Chain A
Amino acid sequence: MKITPETGWKELPQGGVIPEAGNAEQYITGSWRTFRPIRDEEKCTNCLLCWIHCPDSSIIVEDAKVVGIDYDHCKGCGICAEICPPKIKAITMVAEKRD
């Protein structure tokens, strides 16, 4: 069944279950962030340490190369910037600003 914001209690599946898996992805948590990781593509060696350590699986990798950061789920913890090797330092944390 399709659950929408209008679905009433009579239609919802029993026990608060969601009849699918892996749907936490649909819950956008990027707005919690106060610092944004900015990656310098020139400096990055694609060692993938940031990808291994990111607690929110927000480092997007394609064909063993970092292609971007998932800002819908990145909460700005800064682990990626911290783990990036000292001689490389391809990721910097920049304060988020209101528009």
Chain B
Amino acid sequence: MGNLISMEGNQAAAEAMRQINPDAMAAYPITPQTEVVQTFAQFVADGRVDTEFVTVESEHSAMSACVAAAASGTRVMTATSANGMALMWEILYIAASTRLPIVMALVNRALSANINIHCDHSDSMGARDTGWIQLFCENGQEAYDSLIQAVRIAEHPQVRLPVMVCYDGFIISHAVECLELLKDNEVQKFIGEFKSVNSLLDISHPYTFGPLDLYDFYFEHKRQQIEAYGPAKQTVIEVGKQFGSLSGREYGLFEAYHLQDARLAIVLMGSAAGTAKEAVDRLRANGLPIGVLKLRAFRPFPSEELTQLLSRFEAVAVLDRAVSFGAAAGPLFTEISSALFASNHRPLLLNYIYGLGGRDIDIEDIQEVGKKLQKTAESGKVEQPFDYIGVRK
């Protein structure tokens, strides 16, 4: 195990990228991701990596360059945020559908309008159907660790899918925390050598990438792509375990915090999970049987695992840091309730929207959620299924 070092989340992400030493990186700076690209560009300038760094004129070009580099049989990384990823949209689908194992650091930021540079999950949630694997992080350590794991997950022969490692803008990206780094050779050994599949540059075995694909084959290709998310789920678990043996920090599809003896649960993703853990500690000190389910893998979504885990609970609150406009609830809630519907035993469910555009969520806010869960469980009925935390009336 390494020594503790204090650094910002973005620096930790750039450090992971340096240790991974990808063959190619194409990225365009955008707040709050800028520091990742800036720091990595310095590594390139200083000759500390062998990476071909492609300076592009937009995020659409950045992802296009990543697709081309990955199809040419190289290990590729990028980073972006919010509107930047929105500009990548078209190519995000192409990266996933062409099964290119690109790894992206997505520093979560609210989408415009109005212009806001702070955290929410609207960028990730909008891209949930693009086919990318999405891992959410609670802190800088998890961002660093997950970027290294993401390389292995993306490149697994049965997976071959791009991965976005999502971490909260400013709250994680710009906060200094003490974390542990692996040694360069440990990272290299863990990720292994890149094995090219169907390289565009292998002229003795020519392949056509992204061809016209109409009603006669497109459906089969989508059906095949859907199938990859099963092995993807297993790979997230396996790689998380192996990373645990290496670093002492094991990862899975989610983290269960004090759920064993709990009858109430709060489900959420990202940095607010840390806040929720503290809130739960305080509530438990007052005798409330409550725990936290911190979801790490939003895609692939662990439906069966969550159903198995949550169906015995009396009441569960799902906290969404994004809105699905016009929908009945937030995107995380919709997934959780849909998964639980298959079970004969279902907890009473509450949904809260919180933290849009970087609005703070406090320990006290989550303690309130805990108390509402208790009231709901005691009365046996949901009085208000959908509510907001921290918005002025």
Interface residues of A (CB under 8 A from B): 5, 7-10, 12-24, 27
Contact = CB atoms under 8 A, between A and B. Distances in A.
B197 A14 contact: yes
Given A7-B220, A10-B224, A15 B97 contact: yes
A18 B220 contact: no
A24 B213 CA distance: 11
Contact of B224 (A12, A18, A23, A27): A12
A17 to B, nearest CB: 5
B34 to A, nearest CB: 32
Nearest to B158: A14
A12 B211 contact: no
B100 A12 contact: no
Interface in B120-151: none
B199 to A, nearest CB: 11
B393 interface: no
16 contacts: A7-B220, A14-B99, A14-B197, A15-B100, A15-B198, A16-B211, A16-B213, A16-B217, A16-B221, A17-B211, A19-B198, A19-B205, A21-B208, A23-B208, A24-B212, A27-B212
B209 A17 contact: yes
A30 to B, nearest CB: 16
Contact of A17 (B198, B220, B223, B227): B198
Contacts, number: 57
A18 B210 CA distance: 9
A66 B221 CA distance: 41
A13 B99 CA distance: 11
Of B197, B216, B224, chain A has the most CB atoms within 10 Å of the CB of: B224
Contacts of B100: 15
Contact of B98 (A7, A12, A15, A22): A15
A21 B211 CA distance: 10
A17 B216 contact: no
Contacts of A19: 198, 205, 207
Given A5-B216, A17-B98, A17-B198, A12 B221 contact: yes
A22 B208 CA distance: 8
B198 A18 contact: no
Contacts of A7: 220
B207 A17 contact: yes
Contacts of B216: 5
B2 interface: no
B160 interface: yes
Interface in B68-99: 97-99
B207 A18 contact: yes
Contact of B217 (A12, A20, A21, A24): A12
A7 B213 CA distance: 14
A17 B205 CA distance: 12
Contacts of A14: 99, 160, 197-198, 224
User: 6 closest pairs, A vs B, by CB?
Assistant: A15-B99, A21-B206, A9-B220, A18-B208, A9-B223, A9-B224
B76 to A, nearest CB: 15
B111 to A, nearest CB: 29
Contacts of A13: 198
Contacts of B213: 16
B160 A15 contact: yes
Given A14-B197, A15-B98, A16-B98, A9 B227 contact: yes
Contacts of B227: 9
A16 B97 contact: yes
Given A9-B227, A12-B220, A12-B224, A18 B160 contact: no
B230 to A, nearest CB: 13
A7 B210 CA distance: 18
A20 B194 CA distance: 23
A13 to B, nearest CB: 7
B210 A16 contact: yes
A92 to B, nearest CB: 31
Contacts of B220: 7-9, 12
A22 B227 CA distance: 29
A27 B208 CA distance: 14
A21 B207 contact: yes
